[in-house]
Amino acid sequence: MEAKLIGLGVETFKLALLMSLPMLLAGLIAGLAISIFQATTQINEMTLSFVPKIILVIVVAIFTMPWMMNMMIEFTHRIITMIPTFIF
C-alpha cells in the first residue's frame, strides 16, 4: 500500500511538470528572444521583457487548456477508482 501511495505521489509530480511544460517553454523562448532583441538594440525597458512573456504564457495556457483538462480528468478518474484499494 505504501508503494502505491508513493507511486501516486510521483505520478502527481510528473503530471504537474508535464502540464506546466508548454507554458514554461513558451516563457523561456520568449524571454530568450526578447533578451537577444534588447542586447542588439540596447533598449533596457523592463516592461518590454515582462508584458510579451505574460501575454504569450496566457495564450499558450488557453490553447493547451483542453489537453490539460483531459489529463486532469483522467488522473482524477484513476485516483477515484483507486480509493477502494486504500480502504482496509
Domain boundaries, the chain: 2-86
For residue range 24-44, what is the model confidence (pLDDT) as tens digits?
999 999 999 998 998 898 888
**What per-residue confidence (pLDDT) applies to 86?**
80
Tell me, what amino acid is at 86?
Answer: F
Mean pLDDT along residues 13-21: 96
Grid coordinates belonging to 63: 490553447
| pLDDT at site 1 | 78
Sign of CA dihedral 20, 22, 26, 32: positive
Cα separations in angstroms, 1 against 18, 32, 53, 55, 80? 26, 45, 43, 44, 16
Mean pLDDT of 64-74: 97
